[in-house]
Amino acid sequence: MACRCEDIGKCKKDKGLLSIALGKATNIFSIDDCIQEQLQSLMNNSPEAYTTDNIGEICTAIDKLNDDIRPATSELISEINAKQEELDAMIAVFEVEDAEFHASEEAAS
């Protein structure tokens, strides 16, 4: 058994970085809402701006433009949460090992 202070510190630093990533990923939902509104406006105004035979296809393509953002963001958030839980478990193990190491080191002195 060895001192785990450095490992604990690294894990806590990684958790902090994951928290920042989680905040940014969560913010994607509000950005996506704004993009959806803009795409909807574009789709609604397209018939007035263009006189084409395939305006229905254009509107459908615009509507589907960012359909994959929400599911991908949800998956990313789930993965970040899972990694945070994994780090919590590692920190708990490291703290027990570290306490035992320092206790045995203190007893030896």
Q: Which residues of the chain have pLDDT under 70?
A: 46-55, 59, 62-63, 65-66
pLDDT, tens digit, 9 for 90 and up, residues 25-51: 999 989 888 888 887 787 777 666 655
Rounded distance between C-alpha atoms, residue 109 and residue 61, angstroms? 73
pTM of the shown model? 0.75
**Residue 51 in 3-state DSSP?**
coil
DSSP tag of 18:
H
Q: Round the CA-based radius of gyration of the chain to a whole number and report it.
A: 25
Token digits of residue 40: 């909807």
Q: Are 63 and 71 in contact (CB under 8 A)?
A: no
